[in-house]
Homo-oligomer: A and B are copies of this chain.
Amino acid sequence: MVTAICPIVLRVHADDNVAAVGNSGGLPAGTVLPDGIILRRNVPQGHKVALRDIGVDEPILRYRAVIGHATRDIARGDWVDGSALRMPAPPSLDDLPHASGKVAALPPLRGHTFEGYRNADGTVGTRNLLAIGTTVQCVAGVVDHAARRIREELLPRYRNVDDVVALDHVYGCGVAIDAPGAEIPIRTLRNILRNPNFGGAPLLVGLGCEKLQPDRLAGTALTDLPLVRLQDESHTGFASMITAILEAADRRLAQLDTRRRETCPVSDLVVGVQCGGSDALSGMTANPAVGVAVDLLVRAGATAMFSEITEVRDGIAQLTARAATPEVADALIREMRWYDAYLERGGVDRSANTTPGNKAGGLANIVEKAMGSIVKSGTAPIAGVVPAGERADRKGLLFVATPASDFVCGTLQLAAGMTLHVFTTGRGTPYGLAAVPVIKVATHNALAERWHDLIDLNAGTIATGEASVEDVGQSLFALMLDVASGRIRSRAEGLRLHNALAVFNPAPVT
């Protein structure tokens, strides 16, 4: 029985032997797919259908990757549900392809610019922000009060400054600051202070007796940071502390206010991408479109960063093969090993990532989820690896080694130097950051329509056939340049939706 529904089947790669149903209500048994395949059962949206006969134990391919092996003979047109495939063991980190050289550099893309704030160190910001860094959470109450006062009383006088950002966090004391791994939170906080959107000279507020002393936080990278230390004898109480911070802020605001946007090549942009609240369409609509935009950025010479270790672990062979040099492949493997050991120390493994919701939505396992996540990285060679909390030291496509947690990932991408954030979501999350604009991309039309005042771009049109992945990728690239230039404010920015910094500290608290 052939139905009147226009069937949408999303095949990611020509080699794949399964594809997913795009129609929002799924497709009924008997539907004839465009290439003549007849569905043998009802298949829900996001779930997979076999494109050819697959014998028992044969590999099931999606995203040109083995997402499992058939547990039984599967006929062309069958629904390939979770029980039809066996999850593979995690790929060994030995004997991986090392920069096999098959991935050629993408052709250059010229003629695109954005309007940014150029800093003395050569970096370029997308916003002109006064940042108030903190050494320790003890000072957060005072800093929050000061930031509110600055926003209300001082900021209106400095029309060229976009906002004031209080960089509160829960690190800085009551932590094993010399333990293995403690270098991660310390350098994270240091490098966030160096984020290009802060113009190269944030204020710093410290307490006095904290373990993370200002010098240790600043390292050699930050010098002459204006510092207000609350325990200094010059501060005679709360009112005095606030006065000192407001005075320091006033001086800094006057400097920031003289800055103007200037036309910059796209190569000065640093974009971080991640996905959160993923659904079955994430890997077929929004993430591939981000991949297209990432390729455009890389072709234009920009820095594009992808992350989320547990969501690339099963695709590590793809990544090492795409490494620009053997050293980059080695660095990728080193980060996977470190994280494997971190999880093992905590008594879990990579399967801690998937949720029942993922599976109900059509994702068979973490392997399939990973493949749908990795596509955000596009097709360029991987130019470098940034360990958690480090700052990117080169342009091109970079892997920033972070957990998949949205907030931990966002915080670490801020440390890496991100000046624009792209976040894809299927289930929906009202994510936002105070330090950089966040562009949110919906994976399907219903979310984009329902969350009309929270979603910046709808990639759901790919699933309905209204637009191609290439179309949406191009639109995202154009939107990135508009948002980076301040011509458009992202939804989260306009609503002042700010999630807190979540500092990754693998060491004990004490």
Residue of B nearest to A349 (CB): B176
CB distance A450 to B406 under 8 Å? no
| A403-B138 CB under 8 A given contacts A174-B408, A355-B211 | no
| A residues 175-221 touching B (CB-CB < 8 Å) | 175-181, 207-209, 211
Complex Cα distance, B296 from A29, in Å, reads 76
| A508-B145 CB under 8 A given contacts A170-B502, A406-B138, A406-B174 | no
A134-173 near B? 1/0 per residue, CB < 8 Å: 0001111110110000000000000000000000101001
CB distance B428 to A179 under 8 Å? no
CB distance A452 to B403 under 8 Å? no
Residues of B within 8 A of A141 (CB): 430-432, 492, 495-499
| A495-B430 CB under 8 A given contacts A343-B510, A508-B343 | no
CB distance B138 to A431 under 8 Å? yes
| A238-B343 CB under 8 A given contacts A174-B403, A355-B209 | no
CB distance A407 to B137 under 8 Å? yes
Contacts from A to B (Cβ < 8 Å): 137-142, 144-145, 168, 170, 173-181, 207-209, 211, 230-231, 233, 235-239, 241, 276-277, 310, 342-343, 345-348, 352-353, 355, 357, 403-409, 427-432, 450-454, 491-492, 495-500, 502, 504, 506-510
Instruction: Give the shortest distance, in Å, between A35 (CB) and chain B (any CB).
Output: 33
CB distance B453 to A277 under 8 Å? no
Complex Cα distance, B178 from A233, in Å, reads 48
Complex Cα distance, B405 from A207, in Å, reads 15
Contact of A352 among B348, B450, B508 (CB under 8 A): B508
Contact of A342 among B144, B233, B499, B508 (CB under 8 A): B508
In the A-B complex, the 3 residue pairs with the closest CB atoms: A174-B405, A141-B497, A346-B508
CB distance A176 to B499 under 8 Å? no
Contact of A142 among B145, B236, B276, B430 (CB under 8 A): B430
Instruction: Give the shortest distance, in Å, between A323 (CB) and chain B (any CB).
Output: 24
